[in-house]
Structure 1
Amino acid sequence: MLEFWNNHFETSSFIPHGHCYLWKPELVGLHLTSDLMIAIAYYSIPITLFYFVRNRPDLPFNRIFLLFCLFIVACGTTHLMNVWTLWHPVYWVSGILKAITATVSVFTAIQLIPIVPQALALPSPEQLVQANQALQEQIAERLKIEAELKTYQGQLEQRVVDRTAQLADSNRQMEDLLRREQEARRQAEAAKVEIQKREEMARRQLAEIEAIYATAPIGLCVLDTEFRYVRINEYLAEINGLAVADHLGHTVRELLPELGEVQEQIFQQVLASGNPILNVEVHGTTPAQPGVERDWLVSYYPLRSQDEEVLGINVTAQEITDRKLAEQALQDRATELARLNARLAQTTSTLQERNQDLDQFAYIVSHDLKAPLRAISSLSEWIEEDLSGHIPAENQQQLELLRSRVRRMEALIDGLLTYSRVGRTEVAVEPVDVNELLAEVIDSLSPPPSFTIIIPSDLPRLNTKRLLLNQVFSNLISNAIKHHTRPDGRIVVAWQDTGDFHEFAVSDDGPGIEPQYYDKIFTIFQTLKTGDRQDNTGVGLSIVKKILDTEGGRIQVESHLNLGTTFRFWWRK
């Protein structure tokens, strides 16, 4: 054991690392400062991650975070050891620490592999899109029902207005009839002692009253103080289902037991008070339609003599069965609408919960899945740095391939997040000069100098969602640049007004697309090229299509192999 200790931890046979730097203060200071700062950063990162995991017990994959903490601490310790070996050549200890770091790093990478299927099993944006679609359909159904209800309500209100006007007119006619009948009776009584002319006038007025009884559009009758029918018009006789002659001399209770019992209390009140009782709703059945429930609006007027004695009761009756049925139908519609509103509220609540789940998923993807990817990329760089000059060319290529695939995975995650947010976030509507917008897009894409991009000078000004239109143009022009096979590409933007839409076209002279791939290119993560290019994620065109579908537009592709491609889209004004 002593021999092992002496062989591996004895330092007299080695020289400090500082000799390699010829003890130049600036060089030694550079390595000393760099390794110390890296070590401090490495030690602070695990503390932050540990604090984050401790305060987020709901976060999935906590174990992988702790493993990352462990190997980052190990990496930091190797840099501290680099500081120590500047003066103390304990290279065996330094090598052992690097071996421990390598073991922890490999174990962490292995543990990361089974996490990917679990992350993929999280709720997908498409499920939430389907829920949003179901909500839109229910909203459309609700709007349809509300429109039908408004139409029906308007018809009902018009019908009520018409019937009310008829009733008011009938009431006025009845009141006029009562006044004229009383006047006629007074004139008839006075005619006994006056000349023949006044008697003839009274008979004419009585004839007019009889004509009113015959032609009035409402039921009319006169009852004596025993509630027997003295006079009744044909309209009311038909309502009751009996002939006019069958009414005279009989009480209301005798002919219509159910209705008579209800109304006798009102008859007695009119006789006792001498005051009219107006617009009483009466419900029941008559022999005219046995078993059929009907409704009437009835008014009761006292019939007075010249000395104001109450001699009987004048009754007017207007059938309102249709109106009552319409009111009930309206109430049923209102109840159904309330039920649909409750269902819509429940669906909205469910959608909000699912949107929260999607937001949580997006948070996990952006902050939790990308962090291990960045750590893996950094770890490969640290290994390459620590083993500089000792890594075979094949392993060097494999490390670069690893970093390339990590960058591609980060680009895929960013594309997925952008795709999931389309249609779920509110975007402000603002005035947009399309010429200025395209200038900004081209400036941000920085196309090669050999590329020619032609933009018409008369592009329209829109009042629209600037951010979304920017994403559409940016993805289409970016695709035309990065998928071109020659350095001297040419892109042309065109437009025309088609009524409710502005039709835009982005054309290039690139390699073109075969017809069987026209639908595939708009599917998320579908790309016609393979490889580890970071910018070749297959998300851009799916984002374009989703934006246009959400905003009520559409897109189509026209292409010929080796002759170029045109993407044509319609943007609602």
Structure 2
Amino acid sequence: MSIWDWLLNPSGLTPHGFCLSWAPGLVSLHAGSDVVIGLSYFSIPLAIAALVRRRPDLQYGWVAYLFVAFILACGTTHLLAILTLWVPAYGVEGLIKLVTAVLSVATAAILWPLLPRVAALPSAAQLEHLNLRLRDSEAEARLSNLELERRVAERTEQLERANAQLTEALAERSQAQQALARNEAEYRASFEAAAVGKIQTDPLTGRYIRVNRAFAQMLGYEPEELIGKDGWSFTWPDDRDDGREGFARLLSGEVSTYHREKRYLRRDGQPVWGRLSGSIVRDPDTNEPLLSVGVVEDIDERRKAQAALEETRRDLEAMVEARTAALAQRDLLLREVYHRVKNNLQVVDSLLVMQARQLADATAKEALLGLRSRVYALGLVHHQLMGSANLSTFDVAPFLQELSTNVVEGGADQEIELNVEAIPLEVGLDFAIPLGLLVTELVTNALKHAFPAGPGTIDVLLERGADGRIALIVADNGVGYAADDAFGDGVAAGLGASIIKGLVSQMGGVMSVTTNNGTRCEIRLASPVAS
């Protein structure tokens, strides 16, 4: 038997319609029912397949395809049931049922384990609730997004501002770097071209890091020859200890600057004086010394000049000492001279007094006493000079007081009041002697002529006029007398008048005499020049 016979007519079996006795009603009923069932079975899986294709997001979609195969197989069995009404294709029908059985068992085997998972799938209400929550979450998300966008905008604005500030800062930094570069170039040019020496050294080792040409030439080197050398080795040996002590104070921070004049050792072994001004550059964070900088001024010529000046000063001091000693000796001699002159004049005064006592002639006696007053005036001048500090000038005010008092006390028989007012005035020998003689003669004239029968007053004044000249005034309140008799050129004029006129002329003065209510004699003199 062939496979086709087995499939379509196995063992000569009769079709299924034979079992229904070919009753038209039963055959139609079975055939119609199987047609409707088969068509339905074919329609349902097509709808499921279409649904699965439209909803690729459905979970377990592959199970739907298993159902599609199972339902199609079931529908095929119904269509084969129609065929077997007329054709005994029971082999084919059995194979289809076998496939349907396999698919149904597989579907059942897969479906039962999936039932808990499928049952756990949310319902429509749950999905709706989830959708509501999802919409709320979406709204919150939108709000969060808006807030995030706002923050992002603010952050973006901040970043833009920061970027602008950074750009500005970079521009400023670039300008600062350019300025720093310019400053460095200017400093380098200034360092190298400076007329004074400039040095930079390591503060810990004392070695030169950088020197300019002025400093190198001061020591007789080229700048590159000094780089890396110990700076202390170029200090004159006698000046090193003091220099190290001062620099140690600078390095410790005890002082902020270092100033010292010291000698440097030149290449030729000779010393050269320099004035060093130094300071320390420190780390702003740790305050550790980074660099020592100094300015060295060549003061060798000045120090040499000072040494020469010091030697000259010592010579001058010796000369001054010798001159002082000579002046002291001169002062001693002058005081001795003044003393001897005064003593000699006192001897003359004593001789005049003794001689006057022996004279019977009143006129001669009066003449000798007048001469005595003049000698006293000369002696008083030398006495004042002897007591002065410089032996050349003295204050005329106490001199006039003492002189006038002596004249009045020695020549007045009645009570005469004396008033002396004199400005402080330093005068020398050439001015004091004629002034003293003038006062002596004028006061003596007042005593002789103004008060014949009673007391009176004599004023002696020395003052400075508006024109700067000196005015000597001798006035009395006596009876007065004719000016021509006392100061004229007639016969009545005596020795005193001649002496007064001669002294006024000698001093370059001008004299005026008034006799209203007494006699007033005023002599205007040029101000003395103290020598």
Normalising to structure 1: TM-score of the pair?
A: 0.35
Greater radius of gyration (CA): 2
Q: Greater RCO between the two (CA within 8 Å, min separation 6)? A: 1
Normalising to structure 2: TM-score of the pair?
A: 0.37
